[in-house]
């Protein structure tokens, strides 16, 4: 493969100039964005992130054997020349990196039908529902938070939306496995960083916008703009118009004629809640109905008959860590990934409706992630105080922060009158066992925030941690 073939699908207008007019005929290896991964004849793409600018490691890439550097900062030309490294100046290296990776793999996306889901909550559940519906027609792939799956085979995932080189490799593997449909979660970070630039989606889905990621985005408007940018790359879109930002997106003149609406509350829309039978829509968890409706509407737009859609949704298994009931007697235990105020409120309010008697209590065990937006912590505390009978605050991926500092932030949102029913146990395993030990028959215990996760990250690093195993071990001891 030559450099020219890598750049074959990149617009001429995106290529400003290069050090050598004959550079496109030079044989090359794979595109790389990390100088530490560069091998002989690879192409090094200099991409700026929040904490590192790839232009600063041009000498290292040259020493590792790179065949050329792709830059978008003219000031880096001198560094490339000094390293004896040919260069190509483009408008935006982040925007051309995925197209280069796709070209390296022979453009697998051209043989696949791609769908993307974005929003604060619900992305994972919608992709699982889509997979359940479409897999009856042809093999599917899912790229997302819990795992990447290709024709039912799981692959490890590190980010909700992977780095471009990983996405391109996954799409190539999907093509080789005979996959026809791919469902990807599109995070706001990935959209802002142009990790999906170069892909076109048959349909994009917008679920909602809540309080999240404001440690990364400058404002809620900036957060919304990142989500909104997905729909420039979609042939059509499906938008939850019950959500204020969803309604704003639906009315956006930039997407006139290609957006369809759905309404989980039954408001007037292209796909009201009545599109689902009561068996799927009549649930105490409104977000489950909303996610099912989004997937059903998307599948219907793709031409799948409603009867087939409904049959697939009824038959699909529980989604890992998404309101997953892992124990039902003598009291119920649920795992849920809820880590935003909106998601926690939806989970707790739904579970309260599931309590079997006036005397039954709702317990919640949760914390907040460290090195993430502090402003949502008191909001989470307020939500727990509003809906739960017993609150147990604990650690949740505290990262570099002290657990007690995070919990102190949460406590500021809990009214003083509710502190008597609030406990603090920093060790999450101990907190879970304490909650289980104080639950009575008929109670419900919600373990919120980690869901499908099987690790815990703190100042000492990342270690295995499975809430499911903790629950199983407790019940094995207490109810052998």
pLDDT tens, position by position, 330-350: 999 999 999 999 999 999 999
Taking phi first (over 0 means left), then psi (-120 to 50 degrees means alpha), and beta for anything else, what does residue 65 get? Answer: left
Q: Which residue has the tokens 């090359």?
A: 28
Nearest Cα neighbor of 46 from 97, 103, 114, 115 is 97
**pLDDT at position 410, please?**
98
Q: What is the mean pLDDT of the chain?
A: 96
Share of the chain above pLDDT 70, in %: 99
Fold annotation for 324-478:
3.90.190
The one-character DSSP state at 186 is -
pLDDT tens, position by position, 410-448: 999 999 999 999 999 999 999 999 999 999 999 999 999
Are 70 and 28 in contact by the 8 Å Cβ rule? The answer is no
pLDDT tens, position by position, 47-60: 998 889 999 999 99
pLDDT tens, position by position, 264-278: 998 899 999 999 999
**pLDDT at position 157, please?**
87
pLDDT above 90 (res 210): no
Under CATH, to which class is 106-315 assigned?
alpha beta
**pLDDT at position 475, please?**
96
Q: Which ranges in the chain are annotated with CATH 3.40.1190.10? A: 106-315
**pLDDT at position 156, please?**
87
pLDDT above 70 (res 212): no
**pLDDT at position 451, please?**
95
Q: Residue 31: phi, psi to the nearest 5?
A: -70, 140
Name the residue with higher pLDDT: 352 or 160.
352
Q: How many CA atoms does the CB half-sphere of 242 hold within 13 Å?
A: 17
Name the residue with higher pLDDT: 227 or 266.
227
Residue environment code for 199-237, b if the CB has 16+ CB neighbours within 10 A, otherwise e: bebbbbbbbbbbbbbbebbeeeeebbebbbbbbebbebb
pLDDT above 70 (res 214): no
Architecture of domain 3-103: 3-Layer(aba) Sandwich (3.40)
Q: Which ranges in the chain are annotated with CATH 3.40.1390.10? A: 3-103
**Whole-number Å distance between alpha carbons of 82 and 85:** 8
pLDDT above 80 (res 215): no
Query: Can you spell out the DSSP letters for 277-326?
Result: -HHHH--S-HHHHHHHHHHHHHHHHTT--HHHHHHHHHHPPPPTTSSEEE
**pLDDT at position 211, please?**
63
Q: Output the pTM of the full model.
A: 0.92
**Whole-number Å distance between alpha carbons of 439 and 392:** 12
| Rg of the chain in Å (alpha carbons) | 24
pLDDT tens, position by position, 371-384: 988 999 999 999 99
């Amino acid at each position: 493969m030559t450099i020219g073939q890598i750049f074959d699908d990149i617009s001429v207008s995106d290529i400003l100039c290069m050090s050598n007019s004959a550079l496109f005929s030079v044989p090359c290896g794979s595109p790389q964005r990390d100088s530490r991964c560069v091998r002989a004849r690879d192409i090094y793409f200099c991409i700026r992130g929040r904490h590192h600018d790839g232009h600063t490691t041009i000498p290292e890439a040259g020493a590792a054997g790179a065949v050329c550097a792709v830059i978008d900062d003219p000031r880096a030309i001198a560094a490339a020349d000094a390293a004896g490294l040919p260069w190509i100046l483009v408008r935006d290296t982040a925007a051309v990196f995925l197209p280069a990776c796709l070209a390296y793999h022979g453009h697998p996306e051209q043989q696949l039908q791609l769908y993307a889901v974005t929003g604060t909550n619900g992305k994972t559940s919608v992709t699982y529902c889509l997979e359940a519906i479409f897999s009856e027609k042809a093999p599917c792939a899912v790229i997302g938070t819990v795992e990447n799956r290709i024709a039912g085979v799981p692959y490890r995932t590190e980010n909700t939306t992977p780095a471009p080189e990983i996405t391109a490799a996954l799409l190539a593997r999907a093509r080789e496995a005979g996959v026809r449909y791919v469902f990807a979660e599109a995070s706001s970070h990935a959209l802002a960083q142009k990790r999906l630039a170069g892909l076109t989606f048959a349909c994009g889905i917008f679920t909602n916008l809540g309080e999240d990621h404001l440690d990364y985005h400058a404002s809620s408007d900036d957060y919304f703009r990142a989500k909104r940018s997905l729909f420039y790359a979609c042939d059509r879109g499906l938008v939850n118009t019950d959500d204020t930002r969803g309604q704003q997106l639906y009315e956006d003149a930039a997407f006139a004629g290609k957006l369809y609406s759905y309404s989980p509350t039954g408001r007037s829309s292209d796909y009201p809640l009545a599109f689902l039978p009561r068996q799927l829509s009549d649930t105490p968890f409104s977000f489950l109905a909303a996610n099912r409706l989004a997937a059903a509407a998307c599948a219907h737009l793709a031409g799948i008959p409603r009867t087939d859609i409904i049959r697939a949704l009824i038959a699909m298994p529980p989604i890992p860590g998404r309101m997953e009931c892992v124990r039902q007697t003598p009291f119920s235990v649920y795992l849920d990934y809820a880590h935003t105020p909106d998601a926690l409120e939806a989970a707790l309010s739904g579970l309260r409706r599931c309590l079997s008697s006036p005397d039954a209590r709702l317990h919640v065990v949760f914390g907040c992630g460290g090195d993430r937006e502090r402003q949502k912590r008191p909001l989470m505390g307020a939500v727990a105080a509003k809906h739960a009978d017993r609150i147990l605050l604990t650690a949740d991926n505290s990262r570099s922060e002290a657990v007690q500092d995070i919990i102190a932030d949460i406590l500021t949102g809990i009214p003083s009158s509710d502190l008597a029913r609030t406990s603090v146990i920093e060790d999450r395993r101990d907190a879970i066992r304490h909650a289980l030990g104080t639950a009575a028959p008929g109670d419900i215990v919600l373990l919120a925030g980690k869901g499908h996760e099987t690790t815990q990250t703190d100042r000492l690093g990342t270690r295995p941690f499975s809430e499911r195993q903790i629950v199983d071990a407790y019940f094995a001891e207490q109810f052998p």
